Amino acid sequence: MIQKNITLFLASGPTIIIPVSQYDDLWQFRFSVRYDGAEWTIPSTATVSITGRKANGETFEVSCSRDASTGRWYVDTDSVMTDVPGAAICEMVIVDGGRRVGTVNFIIKVEEAPNND
């Protein structure tokens, strides 16, 4: 598993673009979230997921896990996230106590594999 640290910005800031190759499924995206210039800690009681819409219009949703030693949330990429070349418009959805606490948008840019069948 290849770990990639990614900083996302809640409510403002640049849209982050994460480059990957088509069919990559050995990445682990480890997220930190910033809000109003400071790191924002996602509550340990939260449920965090990534939803996305691929370039062909198909959607996906994957659950994130929390690293108890660092408090960071992460997702292991899955081929469902990287099987279609182009931009996958994604959103990290943070829910705590049944309430949607926040969302953070980002893009996974999937480069087409040279031997795409």
Residues 81-103 pLDDT 10s: 999 999 999 999 999 999 998 88
Across residues 91-116, what is the average pLDDT? 91
Tell me how many helices (H) and strands (E) the chain has: 1, 10
**Cα–Cα distance measured from residue 9 to residue 94, given in angstroms and rounded to the nearest whole number:** 13
Strands (E), 13-85: 16-21, 27-35, 38-40, 47-53, 59-63, 65-66, 73-76
Q: How many domains does the chain have?
A: 1
pLDDT of the residue at 50: 96
Q: Please, what sign has the CA dihedral across residues 23, 21, 14, 31?
A: positive
What pLDDT, in 10s, does the model give residues 19-78? Answer: 999 988 889 999 999 888 888 889 999 999 999 999 999 999 999 999 999 889 999 998
Q: Please give the C-alpha separations between residue 49 and each of 18, 111, 114, in angstroms, as whole numbers.
A: 17, 23, 30
Structural domain includes residue 117: no
Whole-Å CA distances, 103 to 30, 62, 79, 89: 16, 14, 23, 13
In a domain, 35, yes or no: yes
The answer as to whether 102 is a domain residue is yes
3-state secondary structure of 25: coil
Which pLDDT score is estimated for 117? 59
- Judge whether 80 lies within some domain: yes
Higher pLDDT, 63 or 114: 63
The answer to the question of residue 79 being in a domain is yes
pTM greater than the 0.85 cutoff: yes
Would the pLDDT of 111 be above 80? yes
Print the domain residue range for 98: 2-111
CATH number at residue 106: 2.60.40.3350
How many residues would you count in the chain? 117
